[in-house]
Structure 1
Amino acid sequence: MASTPSTSPVTLTGQLARFVHRSQWQDLPGAVQHEAVRAFVNGIGCAQGGASSAAVAHALAGLDRLQATGPCTVLGTQRRLDPSNAAMVNGLGIGAHAFDDAHLATVAHPGAPGIAALLAYAELHPVRGTDFLHALVLSSELQCRLSCALTVPPAQCELGWYMTGVTGAVGVAAAVGKLMGLSERQLAWAMGLAALQAGGLRASHGSMGSALIPGHAGREGLLAAHLAAGDFNCHDDALGATHGLLQLFGRPANADALTERLGQHWECMNVSLKPFPSGCLTHAATDACLQLVRAHDFAAADIARVDLWVHPLAEGLTGRRTPQHSFDAQASIYHWAAAVLQHRRAGLAEASDACVHDPAVVALRGRVVATVDEALALDAARAAVTLRDGRRLEAAVDPCIGAATRPMTDAELDAKLLRQAGDALGPDQALRLSRICWQLPEAADVGRAAPGFWGPAPLLSTKDTP
């Protein structure tokens, strides 16, 4: 619903709290409702794929030292944790392979913290499918709008802040608070308490710490909503006040981006679901290289030189020339160009340590030259290969597959889930999980909608499970 004028001044945080409090699922456009289902399908698939990652294994080992057991499922595993840490590990798992989602304009990733925190809540409390999805929309919308208020011109923000760590918990707190039935003032406190915990450094790129940031944002938001429910208060306008989040993180911020056409324009519809397991700013170059191998018959050994033309931010954030491991490769246009041209695909195998150290890929990576082209959009790129026989082959994408204006189809998204879940569950159980996710709007109780995958029933996690 659109924001409503008031006879008394309403703070910036208060306007968002009022919007969340009054919003209704039935008022959302059908496209927004369906995109929430798609976001959930994508997140659950990524959690299944990420469960086998080293990042999740090491996180669980660390939590063992804290005896952090509890009733909530760690997706894709036999483990159960307390709600706070389950939200953290599931958010980490969704982001572990950088296969989650992206709001390209701000390089924020709203899905992982929202899905993980809301599922932890839903495992403990009855939540209808439509209420869960509505909360997920609100989480994503507030995260995206707050990220726009900090990064999209005329706003500016220090590039080193990992935006999901700055804005993620705020959206999650509002979404969980919506499910809890908090008052407007409590919702404002929840968002404020989440804002007090804002952070996240891009120096985490190339390490397990990168996936910890969205996981931690989910945990922070879940905590903030529960504190606010107990009337633990904070400044009523922690977002917009002097020394509040916008003033401190923006250089300057653009507060209008938070409330302009609120409830009429849905910024969450600009969130892309990733077709490749890598940072979103590598995707255009990756797609351009895929266009080359699909259109032309040539061997990688015959390539003398590879030229890429990319947006300045793509080179700035994903210009790792010599990645040392899979985490490095997530943010390396050089790796993805070489891996695609060598193996003619861009999946999880190309994101692995084995591919990073493949001598053929390493050699080809050394022949990749990336050039900044300021005329290109963030989701556009050009690629050219010069062959040893003198031929020059070129391709361009504008926009790349997965962009908000060129999204994956439902069938492609489903195939992505089935590939990731099938590795751990086998094809039959992966198909069952897929059906549950797509049918979530009909669920009477999300926490009990997927016995064997999450909720109170024993978990299914091997191919041998009947």
Structure 2
Amino acid sequence: MATKQLASWAVNLDAASLPESVRQCALRSLYNYIGCTIGGSNHATVSKACDALSPFFGRETSSLLGHEGTKKVDAQHAALINGIASHVHDYDDTHLATIIHPTGPVASALLAYAEYSGGTSGESLLCALTAGIEASCKIGLAVWPEHYDIGWHITSSTGNVGAAVAVGKLMQLSEDQMAHAIGIAAVQVVGLREMFGSDTKSFHPGRAAQSGLLAALLAEKGYTSSPQALEAKRGWANVVAGGGTPKLEQYVSELSQKWEIEANAFKPFPCGIVCHPAIDGCIQLHHEMKSKGLRVQDVQKVDATVHPLVIELTSKRAPKDGLEGKFSVFHGGAVGLLYGKAGPAQYADEVVTDEGVVSIRDRIDATPDKNLKPDEVYLTVHFADGTELKRHVLHAVGSLEVPMTDEQLTEKFVDQVALVLGSDGAKEASDTAWKIAEARDVTGVLGRL
């Protein structure tokens, strides 16, 4: 019984028994989330959501990260808005085995409730975060890849359960209550891949966070669901599996034996992760061109051989704005070649439509090769004088084989947060976020972000 087994595991998970490597992964995931959420807090997508919903904001208990004066709203809306902000730049963490971005839905619900309830230590927060991430990723693995292939946005369609488990853990729900919370969350399945490139993509993790929080709150008061919500014939897994055969029992039985949070990777570039090998390679080529005195303007053509998912997910040839640019391997490659970087500033609307960027983008061709690994690419740059530069990226930066270091995560955090809080504010926020595990009560910490 996967639902009851997951509930039992989550309720009995002990912060003191977490392996140190798991604890560190949880801290890195939370740190990266805070940076992404503050970095996305002033995005137009977030502003539109706040403008639409502000008449309905309730008691000011939970912080909207990065907002002027550390604005507080009710916990439900904080979970939604922070969830949107965490994903709007497509800069959040990725469980590479499923392409789930697990921390956004889980942490958005968790922080909103922790600040509302008070008295949550940093260590308890990391333990609950770990429980939620493990729940999301395990059920995601159970229906991968058919669930994603049929069109579900797996981040949010699993994130609601992860958020419910995490909040339920903080609430100290009983095993029965936790099972009901999982069921209540499971029926609130959300997220369609058709929405990629629009405001609604980042709405998905926000709504999943809000749904998970709601599920835990209802379960705490005795609201019931099916005790077989995940595994029943007409339960979550079989309904959303897309014709595949769910493997719930297999993956739920691995809880605490194989930690999915240790397979959680962090993005060096704020766009679809399948673009990253091409961007990484183009940035390397930018520096090689610079060292050899070659000009980007003299590039005649760029040939990229990529994994087929790159074409399926990021083949927008002429993106009209920054959100669409995140799903254009051509734009990512162009800014990598031109600027030697691909941060949030390179995905601004005005950069995506810049004539110089468009000119280089139009010279890039991508060909799929099913024999390549997902994080592999072959690049050839052809110059007008016949010169050629080649680059093979076997594993992109940010992959499990070439992980981002704490120093790189800090640089990423400060780089994006400085666009919102300024340089000094970004550094202060970074120091605060790294120390969140030491807090006796995270409420004071969140109030400074």
What band does the TM-score fall into relative to the shorter chain? over 0.9
Q: Choose the corresponding residue for 1:258, options 245, 251, 255.
A: 251
**Alignment-mate amino acid for residue 441 of structure 1:** A
Alignment of 1:355-394 (within 5 A): 355-394=351-390
The 1-side partners of 2:13 and 2:58 are apart by 35
Matched, 1:299 2:295: yes
Matched with 2:102 is 110
**Alignment-mate amino acid for residue 84 of structure 1:** Q
CA displacement at 1:156 relative to structure 2: 5.5
Matched, 1:408 2:404: yes
Matched with 1:66 is 56
- What 5-or-longer segments of structure 1 have no aligned partner? 1-10, 454-466
CA displacement at 1:370 relative to structure 2: 0.6
Q: Choose the corresponding residue for 1:84, options 76, 80, 91.
A: 76
Structure 2 vs 1, CA of residues 159 and 322 (structure 1 numbering), >3 Å: closer, same or farther?
A: farther
Matched with 2:283 is 290
Matched with 1:272 is 265
Matched with 1:142 is 135
Structure 2 vs 1, CA of residues 247 and 365 (structure 1 numbering), >3 Å: closer, same or farther?
A: same
The 2-side partners of 1:427 and 1:115 are apart by 25
SS at match of 2:194: helix
TM value normalised by structure 1: 0.92
Matched with 2:156 is 165
The 2-side partners of 1:387 and 1:159 are apart by 41
1:129–1:445: 8 Å Cα contact kept in structure 2?
Answer: yes
More helix by percentage: 2
Structure 2 vs 1, CA of residues 28 and 65 (structure 1 numbering), >3 Å: closer, same or farther?
A: same
CA displacement at 1:68 relative to structure 2: 4.6
**Alignment-mate amino acid for residue 305 of structure 1:** K
CA displacement at 1:325 relative to structure 2: 0.5
2:139–2:252: 8 Å Cα contact kept in structure 1?
Answer: no
1:43–1:112: 8 Å Cα contact kept in structure 2?
Answer: yes
- What 5-or-longer segments of structure 2 have no aligned partner? none
The 2-side partners of 1:54 and 1:426 are apart by 18
Matched, 1:25 2:18: no
1:174–1:191: 8 Å Cα contact kept in structure 2?
Answer: yes
CA displacement at 1:210 relative to structure 2: 0.8
SS at match of 1:227: helix
2:102–2:133: 8 Å Cα contact kept in structure 1?
Answer: yes
The 1-side partners of 2:57 and 2:64 are apart by 15
1:278–1:331: 8 Å Cα contact kept in structure 2?
Answer: yes
Q: Choose the corresponding residue for 1:177, options 168, 176, 181.
A: 168
The 2-side partners of 1:37 and 1:67 are apart by 30
**Alignment-mate amino acid for residue 143 of structure 1:** S
CA displacement at 1:71 relative to structure 2: 2.2
The alignment yields a C-alpha RMSD, in angstroms, of 1.5
CA displacement at 1:450 relative to structure 2: 4.4
The 2-side partners of 1:172 and 1:400 are apart by 30
Matched, 1:436 2:432: yes
The 2-side partners of 1:138 and 1:67 are apart by 29
The 2-side partners of 1:434 and 1:295 are apart by 32
The 2-side partners of 1:354 and 1:427 are apart by 23
2:134–2:255: 8 Å Cα contact kept in structure 1?
Answer: no
2:376–2:395: 8 Å Cα contact kept in structure 1?
Answer: yes
2:2–2:249: 8 Å Cα contact kept in structure 1?
Answer: no
SS at match of 1:449: helix
The 2-side partners of 1:309 and 1:256 are apart by 38
CA displacement at 1:295 relative to structure 2: 2.4
The 1-side partners of 2:335 and 2:238 are apart by 42
**Alignment-mate amino acid for residue 259 of structure 1:** V
Q: 1:123-151: CA deviations, max 9, x gaps?
A: 12210100101111111111111111111
1:433–1:450: 8 Å Cα contact kept in structure 2?
Answer: no
SS at match of 1:213: helix
1:104–1:280: 8 Å Cα contact kept in structure 2?
Answer: no
**Alignment-mate amino acid for residue 170 of structure 1:** V
Matched, 1:39 2:39: no
2:63–2:447: 8 Å Cα contact kept in structure 1?
Answer: no
Q: Choose the corresponding residue for 2:44, options 20, 35, 54.
A: 54
Matched, 1:98 2:94: no
The 1-side partners of 2:148 and 2:201 are apart by 19
TM value normalised by structure 2: 0.95
Matched, 1:343 2:356: no
Count, aligned residues:
441
The 2-side partners of 1:161 and 1:258 are apart by 20
The 2-side partners of 1:183 and 1:232 are apart by 13
1:269–1:404: 8 Å Cα contact kept in structure 2?
Answer: no
The 1-side partners of 2:15 and 2:363 are apart by 52
The 1-side partners of 2:339 and 2:445 are apart by 39
> Which structure 1 residue ranges, 4+ long, deviate > 4 Å from structure 2?
none
SS at match of 2:327: coil
CA displacement at 1:288 relative to structure 2: 1.3
**Alignment-mate amino acid for residue 160 of structure 1:** G
The 1-side partners of 2:162 and 2:154 are apart by 12
The 1-side partners of 2:338 and 2:424 are apart by 32
